[in-house]
Amino acid sequence: MSSLAAARADNFYYPPEWDPKKGSLNKFQGQHPLRERARKLDQGILIIRFEMPFNIWCGGCNHMIAKGVRFNAEKKQVGNYYSTKIWSFTMKSACCRHEIVIQTDPKNTEYVIISGAQRKTEDYDIEDAETFALPADEERGKLSDPFYRLEHQEEDMRKKKEAEPLLVRLQRVSDSRHAEDYSLNRALRARLRTQKRKVVEEEETSRKMGLGIRLLPPSKEDAASAAAVRFAPKFDKNSKDKRAAIKASSIFSESSTSTLGNKRAELEAKRRKIKATAASALLAGRDKPLSWQQDMGFRKR
């Protein structure tokens, strides 16, 4: 349903009963293309978004309405200045719903408050604001006269020379500020890139050494501290004694050595027993008479 509503809001939905021969979709539905903005179009009024051209005081509650505040205003033509139309804008303030009417002034290229408000007058010192005074309306019209410009050309050049140091100084400050920002940003980014490359190299070196952490770069202080370390002579003597004891000891443990010795003793006892039994049997056989087979065999040999 939401997608259908969005399509109808954009005038992309055409109902089944619509026929192109009946005209546009707005004409078929009996509505204006501007919808609610054109509800008073028969009276010559169109609803628009009007932006306040200057600061004003509200006539109903004396509340200040700042420049740039937007209103839903009724726009209508109230006259002509030669061939230029004069438009009137009627709106209601948001603070007290007081009606404010403002018209265009094509003659002076300005807006004029007709009713419901009062323009806020703001005076300031030209030197404090560091601005230039604009020429009056009478002098502004004379600027199109070449003879008037020629008469005031020398004075204008003098004013330009007086104001040139200030303008040059402001321009120089602005340029140096932008250049300084760019140079600082460039130096910072270059330093960050160098640091990233250094970190990658240190991690790669640690990985080649089989370490899971990144080693800090060597420094002269660390090298001097390591070179200043001196081990006591007792440490060397102890290490030599331990090494000699290791070389002199058996590679087998005590339990395995004792077991091996017991097995050797048992085998030696069995061997002696067998030899003794064989010797006694041999002596006993010589005392008995030989059979004729043994005698024949002995003689044959």
Q: Could you give the CA distance from residue 21 to residue 32 in angstroms, rounded to a whole number?
A: 18
Q: Which two tokens stand for residue 178?
A: 């932008």
* pTM tops 0.85, yes or no: no
Which residues lie closer than 8 Å to 163 by C-beta, 6 or more apart?
Answer: 132
- Of 56, 68, 67, nearest in space to 100 by CA: 56
Q: Could you give the CA distance from residue 294 to residue 239 in angstroms, rounded to a whole number?
A: 74
% of the chain exceeding 90 in pLDDT: 21
pLDDT of residue 146: 77
Q: Give φ, ψ of 119 to 5 degrees.
A: -70, 140
Q: Taking all residues of the chain, what is their mean pLDDT, rounded to a whole number?
A: 78
Convert the pLDDT of each residue in 263-280 to its tens digit: 777 888 888 888 777 777
- Of 216, 196, 197, nearest in space to 206 by CA: 216
Instruction: With cut-offs at 50, 70 and 90, classify the pLDDT of residue 299.
Output: very low
Domain boundaries, the chain: 34-119, 127-212
Convert the pLDDT of each residue in 4-57 to its tens digit: 555 555 656 778 888 888 778 777 777 777 788 888 888 888 898 999 999 999
